[in-house]
Amino acid sequence: MTPELKRAIIRCLPEFFSLSDAEQQRYKSTLSRVDYFKVKQHVVKQLFGINIINDSMDIYLENQSEKNLSNEIKDASNFINSHLSSNLNFGEDDLSNEQNLIVNTHMQPLYGIGEDSFYLDEFLVESLLDYDSLYDWYYSSYQWNVENEKERDKDYQAWPFYGGFSLEWARMLIDGEFYHANLSMASMYIHYELEELGNDYIQKLIPHEIEDSFSEPDNNGYIQMSLTTNAYGLEKPLKQLNNKFRTKLDETESRLQKEFDTMSLQEVLILDERDEDSPGKHFIFSDKEVLKKVNFKTFIKDCRKHEQKDASSFYIKLEREKQNLTDYLKEQYEDIIQ
């Protein structure tokens, strides 16, 4: 924790340093957007002499003080705004990319947990502290979903659990440097690569574009927007090919999940993914068994312990799946067009 952050916490959250380490972890995991922004304002002021503001924060604070706000709206507002999830970017428009990276590095220990100040972009982020592994946390979510589905449909058949992580977004410090990150199962990483490839390939086979149109305002002033696909006379073949593609994609995802689960490599691939704002990483977990060996509080240490540094086999498999998909789409396209 930097001196700038410590000074800001002492000023805005004076009770924080009177807490035990365990209590501080819990405090950070439930930090509200209001407290976060107050601390960030002071950190930015110390670093750059800039006063950052946020209109949405002002509106939120104003709404919270409205006496005529219904209890239902207050409850919903408190639930959404008591979690940082989509609120970590307050004030970023006032700073350059370089300044934002510096501020993010300073701020990460305020709300991230464990050795790496790990933060997962989830509404129920406080529950990370209550589980011993990534597996336990995600399996708990899986069970909750299954139980809810069974309450609605007594004949509901639960799908097998293969791990679940699918482009989950995180922030953390790695060796003291700030990183954005994605967390995915190997099968889901390949799935999204195939989805992007398939959409692009179909666009080449049957060029098309999405067009929008708007209705006249109704009596209440509402306007409806509708989207239509213009494939220049090939709308029906395009729909058929897209249906074939979605079915193939679902089948491939199911097959890959079973394959990786059976192989049980228990590996983690750590790929570099830098964007224009900051360094990034993509953590790819081979199967559900390796999730049992990684804890949110010791995330980087555990991932490195099970890291597979040679990703060549994975990329060979990815390219093979891509080739299989394009071959399939080309074949289906030729059958449909005939």
CA 67-89-185 angle, to 5 degrees, is 115
Note the pLDDT of residue 76: 41
Write out pLDDT tens, residues 118-139.
Answer: 999 876 544 688 888 999 999 9
- The candidate with the shortest Cα–Cα distance to 76, out of 59, 89, 57, 63, is 63
Amino acid at 198: G
Calculate the average pLDDT of the chain: 86
Note the pLDDT of residue 137: 92
Q: How many CA atoms lie within 13 A of 258 on its CB side?
A: 7
For the four alpha carbons of 302, 303, 309 and 311, in that order, the dihedral sign comes to positive
Note the pLDDT of residue 124: 55
Q: Are 134 and 294 in contact (CB under 8 A)?
A: yes
The yes-or-no verdict on residue 280 having pLDDT over 70 is yes
- The candidate with the shortest Cα–Cα distance to 274, out of 206, 174, 202, is 174
Cα separation, 334 vs 237, in Å, equals 10
φ, ψ at 218 (rounded to 5°) = -85, -170
Q: Read off the tokens for 167.
A: 């482009």
Task: Quote the strand ranges of the chain, DSSP E.
Answer: 119-120, 168-174, 177-185, 209-214, 225-230, 268-272, 280-285
Cα separation, 182 vs 244, in Å, equals 29
DSSP string covering 61-75, please? HHHHT-TTS-HHHHH
- The candidate with the shortest Cα–Cα distance to 297, out of 179, 165, 131, 171, is 131
The yes-or-no verdict on residue 158 having pLDDT over 60 is yes
Write out pLDDT tens, residues 292-314.
Answer: 999 999 999 999 999 999 999 99
Note the pLDDT of residue 338: 81
Q: Read off the tokens for 96.
A: 């350059």
Q: Are 5 and 106 in contact (CB under 8 A)?
A: yes
Element counts in the chain: helices (H) and strands (E)? 12, 7
Write out pLDDT tens, residues 208-235.
Answer: 998 887 777 777 778 887 888 889 999 9
Kindly give the pairing relationship between strand 280-285 and strand 177-185.
parallel
Residue whose pair of structure tokens reads 């700073």 in the numeric block: 95
Note the pLDDT of residue 181: 96
Cα separation, 39 vs 41, in Å, equals 5
The yes-or-no verdict on residue 151 having pLDDT over 80 is yes
The yes-or-no verdict on residue 330 having pLDDT over 60 is yes
The yes-or-no verdict on residue 20 having pLDDT over 90 is yes
Q: Are 254 and 160 in contact (CB under 8 A)?
A: no
Confidence of residue 173 (pLDDT cuts 50, 70, 90): very high
Cα separation, 48 vs 325, in Å, equals 51
- Contacts of residue 234, defined as CB under 8 A and 6 or more positions apart, other chains included, come to 206, 208
Cα separation, 119 vs 108, in Å, equals 8
Confidence of residue 69 (pLDDT cuts 50, 70, 90): very low
Across 73-77, 165-169, 321-325, least confident range: 73-77
Write out pLDDT tens, residues 43-68.
Answer: 999 999 888 775 545 544 545 444 44
Across 19-33, 80-94, 109-123, 249-263, least confident range: 80-94
Confidence of residue 79 (pLDDT cuts 50, 70, 90): very low
Mapped onto helix, strand or coil, the DSSP state of residue 169 is strand
